[in-house]
Amino acid sequence: MLKQTTFCLIIFMFVAACQTPTVAPQPTLSIAETSTAETPPITLEPPAPTQATIHTPILPTPANTQSPTTEPPSPPTTAPPILTVAPQTPDGKAIIVDHTSVDLFEQIPDEYLERARNLGFVFMDASVGQNIHGALDCLTAVSWSQAPAHCRRDYTDASGNWTTFASGSAPARIQFTPDPVKYDRSQIIFEARPGDWKSYTQDFINIVAPQYLDTVSVLSYQFTYLMVVENSDISDPERGFFANNPDYYDIYDLENFIAQHPDKKFPLWTTSLSRNIGTQVATDFNNQMRQYAIQNGRILFDVADIESHTDQGEPCFDNRDGVKSCSNNGECEDHPDDGVQQPAICQDYTTEIEGGHLGSVSAGKLRIAKAMWVLLARIAGWEP
């Protein structure tokens, strides 16, 4: 009897050990899509919230045909997620407005300028956004010579000295033909907002955008250069903006919000840059944003690309290059060359030796303001 009991106990333990435990199904994110006349309804089934999907990136041929003197760092090996969502463009292909688009500003037909003026556009940003906001006002002046002084400043020598030009001898990069009617920006609204990258999407979704959903057609925001410093996790494949985070807002939350408002357009932005940001984080994040826009049919305002190319199309890199440069107030930097050239704001677009504000000289902010009109015209249906 004892042996029989022992034998049964052994059999019971063996069967229990071999059973497969029941695993609770992982929750999935569901984004409800609303059909439009141009876009059929699409159901999104992205990966489980606790993991970021890793895809092999397939990068398009860059629009810029310039040959940089030094190749910029390679794109990150971890691609952003491919989300099956309703595209923001009629044909499902991304609209990219970058440094190659600035020259299209003078070509925008009056019909599409009118449509662009009437769209209603709000963009949320910090101090660089304030600079762009001011540049939009430059384009509304009665004439170039009567535009505010901050619209007509440029460097006059290699030492960082600049002046306000008052005649037609100004460099081409700060020349423009303003028109208070054509470039009326009364329906282009700037919302200044502080914060870090983890609060920015949350504030846009919960605070800023809801105020304008009844009055504008286009809503967007930009991450600042201080959000892509070297120790930031914004580009981290598991904790960054393109990961599905349970603790803070990311691309999945933004896409959920976009899906709830199919009659609106939500352009994505790359970040602003500074002379020392230029970082690997900034480079990785902006490459992720570009790739995400391309593979998901999004509208992208590539400010980082505009800031990191001169008006002649030459690439600009960070200030860790061993070349001494000085600002107008006499401050200088002389960082040793670190051997890595990260895309950064061009020296001609800022008077700062470390930062990246666009206020003191005009070329950078004017180029972004012109590109913004191209962006709005494209959203309004213009196909140059």
Of residues 258 and 22, more confidence is placed in 258
Range name among 63-72, 110-119, 165-174 with the lowest pLDDT average: 63-72
Which fold is adopted by the domain 98-379?
Rossmann fold (3.40.50)
Residues in Cβ contact with 318 at an 8 Å cutoff, skipping those fewer than 6 apart: 275, 276, 277, 278, 279, 341, 342, 343, 344
d(CA 229, CA 198): 14
Q: Is 381 left (phi over 0), alpha (psi -120 to 50) or beta?
A: left
**Is residue 13 over pLDDT 90?**
no
Q: Which pLDDT score is estimated for 122? A: 98
Neighbours of 193 (CB within 10 A): 17
Residue 176 has pLDDT above 80, yes or no: yes
Answer whether residue 309 shows pLDDT above 50. Answer: yes
Q: What are 327-383's pLDDT values in tens digits?
A: 777 788 889 988 899 999 999 999 999 999 999 999 999 999 999 999 999 999 999
- Across 6-15, 142-151, 242-251, least confident range: 6-15
The confidence band for 74, taking pLDDT boundaries of 50, 70 and 90, is low
**Average of pLDDT values for 48-57?**
32
Q: What is the mean pLDDT of residues 204-216?
A: 98
Of residues 348 and 76, the one with the higher pLDDT is: 348
3-state secondary structure 164-224: ECCCCCCCHHHCCCCCCCCCCCCCEEEEECCCCHHHHHHHHHHHHHHHCCCCCCEEEECCC
Mean pLDDT of 68-95: 72
**pLDDT digit string, tens, across residues 188-204:** 999 999 999 999 999 99
Q: Is the confidence at residue 23, as pLDDT, over 80?
A: no
For position 324, what pLDDT does the model report? 84
pLDDT surpasses 70 at 216:
yes
Helical pair 127-138 and 363-379, crossing angle rounded to 10 deg: 80
- Give the residue-averaged pLDDT of 65-77: 46
pLDDT at 41 exceeding the cut of 80: no
Sequence-separated (6 or more) residues with CB below 8 Å from residue 340 = 73, 280, 320
pLDDT of residue 20: 39
Q: What is the mean pLDDT of the chain?
A: 83
For the cut 60, the answer to whether the pLDDT of residue 285 exceeds it is: yes
Taking only the tens place, the pLDDT of each residue in 227-240 is 999 999 999 999 99
